Structure 1
Amino acid sequence: MAAVSIWWIVAIAVAVVLLSILWLRLHAFLALAMAGFLVAVLTPDAALVDYADLQMEKSKEAWTQKEAASFVSSTGAQRLAQSFGDYAGKIGILIALASVVGSCLMHSGAAAVIIRRMLAIVGEARASYALAGSSFLLGIPVFFDTVFYLMVPLAKSLRRQVGKDYVLYILAILAGGSLAHSLVPPTPGPLAVAAELHIEIFDMMVGGLAICCCSSVLSLSAAAVINRFVDVPLRDDETPADETSAGGPPSIDEVEGPPFGLALLPIALPVLLIAGGTAWNMWLGSFDSGAAPAWTDSLGRIVKLASDKNVALGIAAAMAMGLLRWAPVASDRNQLIGKALASGGVIILITSAGGAFGTMLRYAGIAEAVAEMTGSLPGLMLLPLAFLVTASIRTLQGSATVAMITAAGVLQGFANPEILPYHPVYLATAIGAGSKPIMWMADSGFWVICKMSGMTESEGLRTLAPMSIAMGISALIFTVLGAWLLPMNH
């Protein structure tokens, strides 16, 4: 299929996503599902035959003639539904369990314990670093809106004590939590991109953590500059009335919470378990075939089970639920978990629909079109291109997660080892970096921050928009540096 035809399909599909969200005000799930169905219908049979032929030529997990014929004869709706189910199988359990972990951390007071400890370590003079570090840790299992909801009272309290730097405190929360939301699994965006680009969850965690830590430091410098030029006064009367409602998580000052080690365990344990599985496999790989000790067989099965991403996060969820014994107000555990799963269910629908949309583009031949377009493009230049594509979609429709999912579907052809001279995780972090700019009125997060911090729309544009650009560019800079200095290509 000609590349021109492919790009017409891509342009129409992306336009459907943007118009459905911006003009028709449809839910992101419906917009992505419609775009995926449209791509499936517009894909000619010749492209399906080409894709099936490629699958039969694979050295591993090659399709049979019967499977290829069944694929070519299937309807667009059948292919979309099958892809939706496959994608939900990859990320559904992870997102659901991450929602449970996040909710339990908030309501048990564990999140408050982490924030207080970070403040105690760095001191009030470096409170912005504590805020950024705390929001970074909490932003891994907890959605950013919830992290900001918890931490904005602390920013206001610090402003009252210090008498200045309110903008710095607000932007510090944004620097840590928002970057983690777009770069580190198991939040939906990086999880979806990793699945789309066939990146191991451990590789995405390590790469995202490294880029996020470096970028957060640089972003804090940008926040300090913005703070010098913009002063936002406290406007307590503009805080939403339901902030302190009984149904929400407790404030930082009103809860004792569990010990710090236990509070941190549900966040650190999945990373340690998955890392342990990777280290175990590397150790076994150092032996010649059949030369590994006999005892590694039985122990290896246990390690393989415990390091499975779903099992690791399931253990973390169980530990997080155990922390609810420290909740300051007795609550119905089933109701609390039910709300968390309901919230996660919406994200699963969106990410699965986005994944199906990307798969339909793959069937249409996007990988080959991208390879042809970028054949003469220097390898490192692919990263700024991925950044710009994602940033354009993000700026137009507002949602960072939708932008990442859509961009990953369009750019999935870049993840070909024959094209990339570096590990695909750098492509994923470039997409994550591109999901930061530009925060403005089209973004629900813009309104959450403005309303809860007391900023006016004008103040929000003067602070949040440049800060989002600084976060994105800093993450891109460290991504390019990493791909250049430590390519890790196989």
Structure 2
Amino acid sequence: MALVMILVALIVFIVLATTKLKLHPFLALLGAALLAGLAYQLPLLEIGGHITRGFGGILGGIGIVIALGTIIGVILERSGAAITMAESVIRLLGERFPTLTISIIGYLVSIPVFCDSGYVILNSLKNALAARMKVSVVAMSVALATGLYATHTFVPPTPGPIAAAGNLGLESSLGLVILVGLVVAFITAMAGMLWANRFIGKDIELEDDGAPIMDSDDYQAMRDSYGQLPTPLRAFAPIFVPILLICLGTIAALPGRPLGEGALYSVIAFLGQPIFALAVGLALACTLLKSDDKRQEFHDRVAEGIVASAPILLITGAGGAFGAVLTATPLGDYLGQTLSALGIGLFMPFVVAAALKTAQGSTTVALVTTSALVAPMLGQLGLDSEMGRVLTVMAIGAGGMTVSHANDSFFWVVTQFSRMKVATAYQAQTMATLIQGVVGIICVWLLSLVLL
């Protein structure tokens, strides 16, 4: 019981350090790793080694992937590729189902682009569509936000799911994580969209900041500010070619070797490694550069991507350090035996991630911390197979989206850009993320009945 009380105290420390003391999650997780080593009475001279090995081990596996994915996202964001993707979906689906259309746009755009940035980029398009189709801005805002939120939480190369996969030893199985993540993310996006539909016909009063809601003219001006937009093929290629390569690499490595073991297998297995797949994606993204001095523009975009990915890399590494210290303690065996007797399986990482997300606001921190916590327990929970680990990532993702409220930056991006009152945002956006999380874990549990 003392082992569990120490763990609870460590989680409370992480939450209080990041919320009350305003300590950066990187330092909070490193502090928790040190405290864990001391509290569990590990040999003093070994604690530092566990921390550094855990930090380096996780970043060695997925650090470059996070950096490359972030750089690709920056290039897509700055080139107007997100606008091209959005307009392609509108042309494909038409305007008969406005919330479905904007939800799918969010679902696609947030695979490479952070959900906060994706919402800002697509906000004027969303408002223009709402005005053109005479649909509630609140309904369209929630549909867009939940579509963005779904792939942000479940689908690599978004940093949170990659970090969770790395902590659970899935660096070489990212293709499987992507495939399962796309399915779970789509179901949760549709759950969010259905909740958004409750607000379609409602006349909800919005905050008045003295400026009118953007209309189609404003959207056109924003669109024009990007200059000539890339074609759909060029816009989608940097996202979907790497995903396809990673998935093909996973298929090629299956025990039956479905693609043989000759030259074709070697090429696909090589390009299917996440680092090289994303390098191909970055090369394709370079075709979107449009200034006269493309070398300087590329340098600037890479610099932006490195700056954006640095905090994520540090948090991820610190989470790996925390997990490595916990792995060295008897906690995993004790908790695994206790929890396996309770039979809660996948619901345990969901509950822990949901508690962390709700308490401190960051989905990435919730995913990194929870995956580090549960990694030592997978064997006792019956989740030590490859698919068990993948579904654990999904369960953690479902918890990591439950719920978005006032301590989450994404909540305020959605609230401020859609001009919802805070009370309305709690009713619409926060409730939507609760529904998404619950639907997500139910979906994961049902998949576990079939796949485990």
Correspondent of 2:155 among 165, 184, 202: 184
Counterpart check, 1:128 vs 2:128:
no
The change in CA–CA distance for 1:80 and 1:454 in structure 2 (over 3 A counts) is same
Counterpart check, 1:268 vs 2:231:
no
CA distance in 2, matches of 1:238, 1:476: 40
Q: Is the 8 A contact 1:219 1:474 kept in 2?
A: no
Map 1:282-361; keep pairs closer than 5 Å: 282=254, 285=257, 296-325=261-290, 332-361=297-326
* Superposed structure 1 runs of 4+ greater than 6 Å apart: none
Equivalent position of 1:224 in the other structure: 197
SS of residue matched to 2:245: helix
CA distance in 2, matches of 1:299, 1:221: 44
CA distance in 1, matches of 2:264, 2:70: 31
Counterpart check, 1:44 vs 2:41:
yes
Correspondent of 2:398 among 433, 442, 445: 433
- After superposition, the C-alpha distances for 1:444-468 in whole angstroms (9 at most, x for unaligned) are 1111111122122222212111111
SS of residue matched to 1:375: helix
Q: Is the 8 A contact 1:166 1:233 kept in 2?
A: no
Equivalent position of 1:13 in the other structure: 10
Equivalent position of 1:194 in the other structure: 165
CA distance in 1, matches of 2:83, 2:296: 18
- After superposition, the C-alpha distances for 1:182-234 in whole angstroms (9 at most, x for unaligned) are 11111121111111222321121111111111221222111112445672447
CA distance in 2, matches of 1:118, 1:106: 17
The change in CA–CA distance for 1:121 and 1:193 in structure 2 (over 3 A counts) is same
The change in CA–CA distance for 1:136 and 1:12 in structure 2 (over 3 A counts) is same
Q: Is the 8 A contact 2:114 2:152 kept in 1?
A: yes
Gaps of 5+ in 2: 214-220
Equivalent position of 2:218 in the other structure: none
The change in CA–CA distance for 1:238 and 1:184 in structure 2 (over 3 A counts) is farther
The change in CA–CA distance for 1:23 and 1:318 in structure 2 (over 3 A counts) is same
Q: Is the 8 A contact 1:166 1:232 kept in 2?
A: no
Measured after TM superposition, the shift of residue 469 of structure 1 is 0.6
Q: Is the 8 A contact 2:136 2:202 kept in 1?
A: no
CA distance in 2, matches of 1:305, 1:268: 17
The change in CA–CA distance for 1:418 and 1:442 in structure 2 (over 3 A counts) is closer
Equivalent position of 1:147 in the other structure: 118
> How many matched pairs?
440
In the alignment, residue 111 of structure 1 is paired with which amino acid? A
Counterpart check, 1:206 vs 2:201:
no
Measured after TM superposition, the shift of residue 14 of structure 1 is 1.0
CA distance in 1, matches of 2:115, 2:388: 28
- After superposition, the C-alpha distances for 1:21-72 in whole angstroms (9 at most, x for unaligned) are 1111111111111111211232324xxxxxxxxxxxxxxxxxxxxxxxxxx6
Map 1:447-462; keep pairs closer than 5 Å: 447-462=412-427
Correspondent of 1:419 among 357, 379, 382: 382
Identity score, percent: 26
Q: Is the 8 A contact 2:207 2:421 kept in 1?
A: no
- The alignment's C-alpha RMSD in Å is 2.6
TM-score by length of 2: 0.90
- After superposition, the C-alpha distances for 1:370-405 in whole angstroms (9 at most, x for unaligned) are 221123233xx3223322221111111111111111
Equivalent position of 1:22 in the other structure: 19
SS of residue matched to 1:251: helix
Between 1:340-349 and 1:193-202, the stretch displaced more is 193-202
Correspondent of 1:117 among 85, 88, 94: 88
CA distance in 2, matches of 1:354, 1:239: 44
In the alignment, residue 247 of structure 2 is paired with which amino acid? A
SS of residue matched to 1:24: coil
CA distance in 2, matches of 1:160, 1:235: 17
Q: Is the 8 A contact 1:100 1:337 kept in 2?
A: yes
The change in CA–CA distance for 1:347 and 1:230 in structure 2 (over 3 A counts) is farther
CA distance in 2, matches of 1:454, 1:350: 32
Between Structure 1 and Structure 2, whose CA radius of gyration is higher?
Answer: 1
SS of residue matched to 1:382: coil
The change in CA–CA distance for 1:286 and 1:460 in structure 2 (over 3 A counts) is closer
Counterpart check, 1:404 vs 2:374:
no
Q: Is the 8 A contact 2:99 2:196 kept in 1?
A: no
SS of residue matched to 1:134: helix
The change in CA–CA distance for 1:16 and 1:234 in structure 2 (over 3 A counts) is closer
Equivalent position of 1:157 in the other structure: 128
Equivalent position of 1:52 in the other structure: none
In the alignment, residue 246 of structure 2 is paired with which amino acid? I
- After superposition, the C-alpha distances for 1:119-165 in whole angstroms (9 at most, x for unaligned) are 11112221222211111111111111100011111121123223332
Measured after TM superposition, the shift of residue 359 of structure 1 is 1.7
Correspondent of 2:349 among 377, 386, 411: 386
Measured after TM superposition, the shift of residue 19 of structure 1 is 1.0
Measured after TM superposition, the shift of residue 309 of structure 1 is 0.8
SS of residue matched to 1:76: helix
The change in CA–CA distance for 1:105 and 1:237 in structure 2 (over 3 A counts) is farther
Measured after TM superposition, the shift of residue 253 of structure 1 is 5.3
Measured after TM superposition, the shift of residue 168 of structure 1 is 1.3
CA distance in 2, matches of 1:233, 1:332: 39
Gaps of 5+ in 1: 46-71, 241-249
Counterpart check, 1:364 vs 2:337:
no
